[in-house]
Structure 1
Amino acid sequence: MAKQDIQIKTRDGVAKAGMFRAAGASSSKAGIILYMDAFGPRLALDGMAERLAGEGYAVLVPDLFYRNAPYGPFDAKTAFAVETSKAALMALVSGTTQEMTISDGGAFIDALAGEGVTGPIGVVGYCMGGARALNAAATYPDRIKAAASFHGGNLASDAADSPHRKAASIKARVYVGTAGVDRSFPPEQSARLAEALRLGEVDHTIENYVGMAHGWCVPDHSVFDATGAERHWKRLTTLFAETLG
């Protein structure tokens, strides 16, 4: 597996990113943008990107917190248990708005094009990246053909930038995998999202992973669940295979 460290020029600066491809692959017709969780780009996400790249895609993992770099690193198992790192993380998350990431999305798509990806694009986000993946699909419907969120928070909140409000703009197929009990995405939000997607005539699935906790997909999380993670991989790779070709 080949990882290339690249820099992406955005309206607000330069974002570092990892570009992943299968070894020996000089081009990929389809690309994937992996929207990170709150702990930032790191080895755990690299490994997930490599697994997707093994399916034949060019996979981009941008640093969404680049406006505040340098920061961290954070230990996903303990960061929220220590007050100093928790405060730093919350400042990064709240200080990186949905609108900022939406604006960055065009530059991310251009970065894939610069690597020869001219075909369809899929997006997947974890934790804070889930809502960002859905908002990206609503903003760039001509390019993004599949969007997935796993343990994404606030997908249908009262906030003005909640992605459910833009559901009618989404042309991608959508898959949302929710943790069985997740305060950041309670049942009332799930129902609100389902209604918005259905009214918007979006091809979608919302699946509840009973017994899983927020973060179950990512291997360095304290609540990582290997069986649940493999179920997530099966759903994700099927979604991309059926939509990206």
Structure 2
Amino acid sequence: MAKQEIEIRTEDGVAKASLFLPVKPPAGAQPGVILYMDAFGLRPALDDMGARLAGAGYVVLIPDLFYRFGDYGPLDAKTAFSDPETRDTIMRMMKETTSDKNRRDSGSFIEAITRAGATGKIGVVGYCMGGGRALTAAAAYPDRIAAAASFHGGNLASDTPDSPHRLVSSIKGRVYIGSAGVDRSFPPEQSARLAEALRAAEVDHIVENYVGMAHGWAVSDHGVYDEQGAERHWTRLTTLFAECLS
């Protein structure tokens, strides 16, 4: 699946993005998928994921959420946090890429994927920090986003005012949460809080715990990548999109 490198104009600047188009588009309105990156930026591992989703028939957009910081990286998912300076840089970029900025950016991302041909329903999926960004987007654009998934997403139900669990009452689509078996960024109390918020908002949802998987298990260049767990994640994700975006 050929990748196109594009630029998306947002309210705050220009974001680079990777775009993948399906070889055999389905009949009717073309569905799209926006993939929200983890903390290590755009790179081949995410391109592989985008190509796989495009192979399933979706227009796929993977935007650079850290575009406001100019050139950074490349970041190695296996080693980036072992260097204190690099770790501090990543944590700063994550902290300053707020939910409000993500909400505004997602409007531009939806416009870009629509121009690329995704005129039908949209699904969003995020990994690590991208998990919360996917939920925020689904809450901000409920009339367009029909499915949202988070895998090893962190701080989905924290005590902060902009925590994703506080926004779920606006979501109209289906939600899937895949959590790592033991994850300090999404402990059991947050999982329970998110599940209760989704239930109270009457959002169709599943919160599933991947026992034995570590934070980052679904992305191939992470040191904790688990092939069997990753394939299980693909089964859940493609089923969600097939049921909600057709």
Distance in 2 between residues matched to 1:199 and 1:48, nearest whole Å: 33
**Secondary structure of the residue that 1:17 maps to in structure 2?**
strand
Aligned to 1:222: 223
Partner of 1:200: 201
Q: Deviations over 1:42-99 (max 9, x none)?
A: 0000001100110000000000000001011111001011112111111111121111
Distance 1:26 1:242 in 2: 14
Q: Distance in 2 between matches of 1:24 and 1:209?
A: 33
1:170-211: CA deviations, max 9, x gaps?
001000000000000000000000000000000000000000
The CA deviation at 1:116 is 1.8
Secondary structure of the corresponding residue to residue 44 of structure 1: helix
Decide whether the 8 Å contact of 1:147 with 1:175 is kept in 2: yes
Deviates most, 84-93 or 100-109:
84-93
Structure 1 runs (4+) deviating above 3 angstroms are 23-28
Map of 1:53 onto structure 2: 54
Q: Secondary structure at the match of 1:155?
A: coil
One-letter amino acid of the counterpart of residue 87, structure 1: D
Tell me, in whole angstroms, the C-alpha distance in 2 between the residues paired with 1:126 and 1:113. Answer: 22
> Contact 1:2 / 1:23 at 8 angstroms: preserved in 2?
no
| Separation in structure 2 between the aligned mates of residue 76 and residue 110 of structure 1, nearest angstrom | 30
**Structure 1 segment 97-136 matched on structure 2, within 5 A:** 97-136=98-137
Q: Post-superposition shift, 1:23? A: 3.6
Q: 1:102-127: CA deviations, max 9, x gaps?
A: 11000000001111211100000000
CA distance in 1, matches of 2:85, 2:176: 35
Give the match for residue 15 of structure 2.
15
Find the aligned partners of 1:205 and 1:129 in 2 and give their Cα distance.
Answer: 18
Mind listing any 5+ residue stretches in structure 2 that lack a counterpart? none
SS in 2 for 1:94: helix
Residue 167 in 1 paired to residue 168 in 2? yes
Gaps of 5+ in 1: none
Matched AA of 1:121 = I
Contact map agreement 1:141 1:169 (CA 8 A) in 2: yes
Q: Distance in 2 between matches of 1:18 and 1:170?
A: 26
5 Å-filtered alignment, 1:137-152, equals 137-152=138-153
What is the aligned length? 245
Residue aligned with 2:167, SS: helix
Structure 2 counterpart of 1:156, which letter?
Answer: A
* Partner AA of 2:154 in structure 1: G
Deviations 1:101-152 (A, max 9, x none): 1110000000011112111000000000000000100000000000000000
What is the TM-score of this pair, normalised by structure 1? 0.98
RMSD: 1.3
Q: Distance in 2 between matches of 1:83 and 1:116?
A: 42
Check conservation: 2:213, 2:229, Cα contact below 8 A: yes
Does residue 3 (structure 1) correspond to residue 21 (structure 2)? The answer is no
**Counterpart in the other structure of 2:95:** 94
Describe the shift of the 1:24–1:173 C-alpha distance in structure 2 as closer, same or farther (beyond 3 A): closer
The equivalent of 2:190 in structure 1 is 189
- Write the letter of the residue equivalent to 2:241: F
Q: Which amino acid aligns with 1:223?
A: V
- TM-score with structure 2 setting the length: 0.97
